[in-house]
Amino acid sequence: MLNPIIQYEFGKNQRATITYSNNVKTNLSQQMCISFNSTGTLLYTTLHNGPDSVSQYKLSTPWDVTSAIYLSKSLTINQNGESSPHGHHISPDGTKLYVGGTTSKSILYFKLNIAWDVSTAVYVTFLSVTSTSTFDYLHFSNNGVYMFLKSHGNNVQKYTLSTAWDITTATFTQTLPQSSAGYDIYFKDDGLSLFTFDGNNRIITKKNLSIAWDLSSVTSTQTLNVSSVVATGNFQSIHFSDNGLYMFVGAYFSSIYRFELNKPFDINGPLIIS
């Protein structure tokens, strides 16, 4: 298996490559969304029908999804009449959890009394989303000032929060038209690149921005076809390690797949299956 850190340090001027090792996936199914803590030692999934919840796993080897062990820690999502949660987002300090509710058309906010421990989550409030007919996934800027919503085949929508992390202060401010399908959305920490994933065609799209978090400043678009690896499905999630050298794709009813990048967040290269 490639060591992406070594690959990057000694290959800065090499062409970007994306490698998939056939055994680097899990058997976790029914997961609608995935995320990790900053060290890659904890994995979180939104589960469907098992019951609908956000569940927590420990990775005995950081960023290795094959080492995931369920910690018997989960948060059932049924607040505000919600019955089909999809996306979730955890703040960088692990104390705030936001869940996208598709039936209630709202964002549910929970406070974690112990950072990164979903079993300590306490429901705080919700935000009704009226600017879009439906949404599945959400993402926040690291300072909690911007919130982005995404749904299958729908545009990316941006909200500005006058008080960081307080969704009750959110105001709809911007839209990025989408020409292709895709559910989840993921931003680099600097706000200069966003990623979406089309689960039906299994194509990852990266849009580069000239102004951080500004959806009107797209300068270029890159795509990566992973259909030779990832199973087709209606719901798909995308996430990266903090250093951008691991990319994860979660496929509903299938698995969580890990890809290794030799250049951080760079998908403009060939997919190598080893």
CATH number at residue 106: 2.120.10.30
Query: So what's the pLDDT on residue 263?
Result: 96
> Is 250 among the domain residues?
yes
pLDDT in tens, 144-186: 999 999 876 678 999 999 999 999 999 999 999 876 667 789 9
Query: So what's the pLDDT on residue 8?
Result: 45
> Is 222 among the domain residues?
no
Q: DSSP labels for 167-209? A: GGGEEEEEEE--SS----EEE-TTSSEEEEEETTTTEEEEEEE
Query: So what's the pLDDT on residue 101?
Result: 85
> Is 129 among the domain residues?
yes
> Is 92 among the domain residues?
yes
> Is 221 among the domain residues?
no
Compute the residue count for the chain.
274
For the chain, 274 residues long, the average pLDDT of each consecutive 10-residue run is 47 80 72 92 86 92 92 92 89 97 90 98 92 79 96 84 97 85 88 90 93 97 93 83 95 88 96 94
**Is residue 176 a contact partner of residue 156, using CB atoms and an 8 Å limit?**
yes
**Is residue 259 a contact partner of residue 247, using CB atoms and an 8 Å limit?**
yes
Give the max Cα distance, the chain.
52
Question: Edge-to-edge strand order for the sheet containing 106-112?
Answer: 85-90, 96-101, 106-112, 121-128
Q: Which of these, 76, 84, 121, 122, lies nearest to 105 by C-alpha position?
A: 84
Instruction: Provide the residue range defining the domain that includes 118.
Output: 4-11+18-216+227-273
> Is 267 among the domain residues?
yes
Here the tokens at position 233 are: 């499905």
> Is 90 among the domain residues?
yes
**Contact partners, residue 228, CB within 8 Å, separation at least 6:** 271, 273
Query: So what's the pLDDT on residue 92?
Result: 97
Give dist(CA 176, CA 152) in Å, integer: 14
Q: Domain total for the chain?
A: 1
